[in-house]
Amino acid sequence: MLTDPASTAAAADAIWDGLPGDRYALDDRERYVESPRKSCDPGAMITYRGTKLRYSVPVTVHSAFRERLERFETVAAEVATRVYGRTPQRIRHAGGYNCRTSTGRHRGRLSEHALGNAIDIVGFDFGPAKKTDVLPADLPKPLRHGFQVRVQKHWGSSRSASAALHARFLRELTEELRDRRDIFRGLIGPADPKHADHLHFDVSPWRYVRL
Ligand SMILES: [Zn+2]
What is the reported pLDDT for 105?
67
Ligand 1 mean position, distance from CA 116 (Å): 10
CA 65 to chain centre: 12
What is the reported pLDDT for 11?
43
- The contacts of residue 35 (CB under 8 Å, 6+ apart) are none
The whole model's pTM is what?
Answer: 0.89
- Identify the burial level of 68 via C-beta atoms within 10 angstroms of its C-beta, where 0-12 means exposed, 13-18 middle and 19 or more buried: buried
In a domain, 9, yes or no: no
What is the rounded CA–CA span in Å between residue 145 and residue 11?
Answer: 44
What is the reported pLDDT for 25?
93
Q: Residue 161 sits in a domain of what CATH number?
A: 3.30.1380
Query: pLDDT by residue (tens digit) across 20-69?
Result: 567 899 999 988 887 777 889 999 999 999 999 999 999 999 999 999 99
Ligand 1 mean position, distance from CA 93 (Å): 10
Residues of the chain with pLDDT under 70: 1-21, 103-105, 107
Ligand 1 mean position, distance from CA 145 (Å): 31
Ligand 1 mean position, distance from CA 119 (Å): 6
In a domain, 151, yes or no: yes
Which backbone phi and psi does 38 adopt, to 5 degrees?
Answer: -70, -20
68-77 long-range contacts, Cβ below 8 Å, gap at least 24?
68/183, 68/184, 68/203, 69/119, 71/180, 71/182, 71/183, 72/177, 72/183, 72/184, 72/201, 75/173, 75/176, 75/177, 75/180, 75/183, 76/124, 76/173, 77/52, 77/53
How many domains does the chain divide into?
1
In a domain, 69, yes or no: yes
Ligand 1 mean position, distance from CA 176 (Å): 19
What is the reported pLDDT for 20?
59
What is the rounded CA–CA span in Å between residue 61 and residue 56?
Answer: 15
Q: Residue 103 corresponds to which amino acid? A: T
What is the reported pLDDT for 16?
54
Ligand 1 mean position, distance from CA 142 (Å): 32
What is the reported pLDDT for 26?
95
SS3 assignment, position 127: coil
In a domain, 107, yes or no: yes
Q: Can you give the residue range of the structural domain that contains 102? A: 30-210
Ligand 1 mean position, distance from CA 140 (Å): 32
Ligand 1 mean position, distance from CA 90 (Å): 19
In a domain, 91, yes or no: yes
In a domain, 127, yes or no: yes
What is the reported pLDDT for 21?
65
Buried b (16+ CB within 10 A) or exposed e, 141-170: eebeeebebbbeebbebeeeebbebbbebb
In a domain, 24, yes or no: no
In a domain, 25, yes or no: no
